Amino acid sequence: MRPNGTKQIHGAAWRRSVGASALALAVAGAHGGPLTPPAGPVGSTGKTIAEAEPRIALSVSTAPGDANSVLRITAPGSYYLTGNVTGQPGKHGIEVAASHVTIDLNGYALVGAAGSLSGIVMDGFVLSTVVRNGTVTEWGGDGVNLDGSGADPGKRVELVIARNNGAVGISVGDSGRVIDCTAVDNALSGISGASATVVSGCVARGNGSSGIVVGVGSSISGSTARLNGGSGFQGSSASVINCAAHNNAVNGFSGFASSVLIGCIATENSANGFSLSSNSRVSDCTATGNTGEGFSAGGTTSFTDCSATENGLNGFVVINNSAIRGCVARANGAAGTGAGFRTTGSDNRLERNSTNGGDFGFQISGERNILIQNQSGGATTLNWSIVANNIYGPIIDRSAAVLGAASGDSATSTLNTTDPNANFTN
């Protein structure tokens, strides 16, 4: 014990104490860094406002309007809204007068006014215009109109709602793309494009004319048209995949010459489910409860694995040089005389089809039509009505046959024919 009352540390204990203190100082130094600041002025390590948001906020200072526009873009760039824009009589909402412009509505709305023009338009021929992510509503003209860009594949409208505008909801003209958009209650068509238009994932509902309209060489996929004043979908020379048309005032699908339709549905439309022109291919499609025909087509059209049920007139109607294979028709003709399958011309081929109910099963006019391996039952007038000069396999009536059951590994045939091209009544 020291005279002042403290303990004296000897030997190993003293060395442990000194070592622990040195280690603590070393760790503190390693985490704390140098205490002397570097030479020179202190600079900011953060981003500038321009670096954090390099786009241009749309306002009267960055895009001052003119005599016919609230905002007018005259320089290339990426623009965005910071709030809603209200229309004025005699003016468009946003007028684009420069190429390479992207407009992000940023979740806000362009809201028209009485006597206003269109929500977004082109001023002259401009390239690469993109409009996205917001609502365009209550304009006196179109909601979004990119027709001024001509046949420019760079124009695109995506994630836009066009509602209650005085003309077309969204119009892109030639070579435009409309992706994941909704057009509701516009006075004319919901979505309109010309040649080489792409429409994907869109909804058109309650528009005054047709829901979605495209031109030659276009593509429509994953889209829905409902309660429109014209047809649900209207086009020519297009690819239409996995689309649905319900309760439209005319046809579900209308026109579409030289087209391909796959996996589409038409239900409860006021005319035909599918009213197609010529030279088309239709597969895996369904027409149910339409007022007119389920499927109606001009010449040189093929139907494969399609279904027509409870339509007002015929299930399937073709004219010349067409083929219907593996299709099903049931209970058609509720609104008038109807057949499951009907030809009105010549040189058609009906193979492996099945129909039940309706006035007629197969009603065949014209000449040189071929019927093989088909089945019909339950027609109220005739299961088979085939005029002279047509070609068909034997028609085997098994509707009244009393057939034995099959049990085990083998049984005798109940077809009553060995002809592989036979047609059957059941």
Contact between 132 and 160 (Cβ < 8 Å)? yes
Q: Which residues contact 380 (CB under 8 A, 6 or more apart)?
A: 357, 358, 359
CB atoms within 10 A of CB 61: 7
**Collapsed DSSP state (helix, strand, coil) of residue 302:** strand
CA distance readout (Å), 105 to 81, 160, 289: 5, 9, 40
Shortest CA distance to 310 belongs to which of 290, 295, 339? 290
Q: What are phi and psi of 358, to 5 degrees?
A: 80, 175
pLDDT tens-place string over residues 115-129: 999 999 999 899 999
Contact between 285 and 304 (Cβ < 8 Å)? no
Distance CA 99, CA 320 (A): 49
Average pLDDT, 10 consecutive residues per value, the chain (426 residues): 47 47 44 58 57 86 97 98 97 97 98 98 94 98 92 93 98 96 98 97 98 97 98 96 98 97 98 96 98 96 98 97 98 93 97 97 97 97 98 95 86 92 96
Q: Give residue for tokens 């006014």.
A: 113
Give the torsion sign (CA, 39, 40, 42, 48): negative
In this structure, the chain runs to a length of: 426
DSSP 388-399: SS-EE--EEE-T
Distance CA 288, CA 164 (A): 30
Q: What is the value of pTM for the model shown?
A: 0.87
pLDDT tens-place string over residues 28-68: 444 445 556 666 665 555 565 555 678 999 999 999 999 99
* pLDDT of amino acid 20: 46
Q: What are phi and psi of 25, to 5 degrees?
A: -65, -40
pLDDT tens-place string over residues 260-271: 999 999 999 999
* pLDDT of amino acid 72: 98
Tokens of 21: 């203190």
- What number of H helices and E strands is found in the chain? 2, 46
Report how far apart the first and last C-alpha atoms of the chain are (Å, whole number): 119
CB atoms within 10 A of CB 29: 11
Q: Give residue for tokens 């010529």.
A: 278
